[in-house]
């Protein structure tokens, strides 16, 4: 992987929401990489270039808000000549049960506006780490559900699993990591 993108929304208001799982997973990974020296703001994103197992990897958190994530991602990958198979996007997913992880390449957006924006501004053939958040309770809108504040006790174990999955991808390569990650959480 040359680029790992965590999807989310900037600002304290959204920091502990389901929609920020991508940001939280990238932050958690960054904290464990010894070459991490902080994020810097560039081209509507927070970015950092780190070394993982001797390989250079970009970490990115678009600051355009979720629905415009593709603007930052598209311009970054074009400028750096990064191919779709070298990109992993981490995002929340309503269609997976809570805490379930799945890596997939390509596919549709299933109504996820951050993914839809990336499709419009760049393409679809990148890898995705889908982080399950389950369906909203009855009578709660999807937007209210993904933007509600979640307790640290509930969100941190899921962030930790996503971080472990990212490390597994970086250690083994995405194709070898898929087989084990797609059965997480392990029962």
Distances (CA, A) of 133 to 43, 57, 100: 29, 27, 8
Asked if 19 is an active-site residue, the reply is: yes
**Domain containing residue 38:** 3-181
**Predicted local distance difference test score (pLDDT) of residue 184:** 67
Largest Cα separation within the chain, whole Å, is 49
* Domain assignment of residue 187, yes or no: no
Give residue-wise pLDDT tens across range 5-28.
999 999 999 999 999 999 999 999
Give how many domains the chain has, as a whole number.
Answer: 1
Dist. CA 146–CA 125, nearest whole Å: 25
**Predicted local distance difference test score (pLDDT) of residue 148:** 96
**Predicted local distance difference test score (pLDDT) of residue 54:** 87
Mean pLDDT over each residue of the chain, to the nearest integer: 94
pTM of the model: 0.95
Dist. CA 54–CA 178, nearest whole Å: 22
* Domain assignment of residue 96, yes or no: yes
Work out the burial of residue 71: count CB atoms within 10 Å of its CB; fewer than 13 is exposed, 13-18 middle, 19 or more buried: buried
* Domain assignment of residue 186, yes or no: no
* Domain assignment of residue 67, yes or no: yes
* Domain assignment of residue 107, yes or no: yes
Q: Which of 49, 38, 63, 70 is nearest to 4 (CA)?
A: 49
Q: Select which of 19, 91, 112, 121 is catalytic.
A: 19
Task: Mark the ranges of the chain whose per-residue pLDDT is less than 50.
Answer: 187
How wide is the angle at C-alpha 101 spanned by C-alphas 170 and 24, nearest 5°?
A: 70
* Domain assignment of residue 16, yes or no: yes
DSSP state of 80: H
Q: What's the CATH code of the domain at 52?
A: 3.40.50.1470
**Predicted local distance difference test score (pLDDT) of residue 104:** 95
DSSP state of 149: B
Dist. CA 69–CA 167, nearest whole Å: 23
* Domain assignment of residue 72, yes or no: yes
């Amino acid at each position: 992987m040359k680029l790992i993108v965590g999807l989310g929304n900037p600002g304290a208001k959204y920091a502990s929401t389901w929609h920020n799982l991508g940001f939280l997973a990238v932050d958690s990974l960054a904290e464990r990489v010894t070459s991490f020296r902080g994020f810097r703001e560039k081209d509507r994103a927070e970015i950092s270039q780190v070394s993982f197992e001797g390989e250079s990897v970009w970490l990115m958190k678009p600051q355009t808000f979720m629905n415009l994530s593709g603007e930052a991602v598209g311009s970054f990958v074009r400028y750096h000549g990064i191919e779709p198979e070298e990109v992993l996007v981490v995002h929340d997913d309503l269609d997976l049960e809570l805490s379930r992880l799945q890596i997939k390449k390509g596919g549709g957006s299933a109504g996820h506006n951050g993914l839809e924006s990336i499709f419009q501004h760049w393409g679809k053939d990148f890898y995705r780490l889908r982080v399950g958040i389950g369906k909203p309770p009855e009578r709660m809108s999807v937007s209210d559900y993904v933007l509600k504040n979640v307790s640290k006790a509930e969100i941190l174990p899921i962030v930790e699993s996503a971080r472990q999955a990212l490390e597994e991808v970086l250690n083994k390569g995405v194709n070898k990591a898929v087989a084990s990650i797609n059965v997480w959480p392990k029962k």
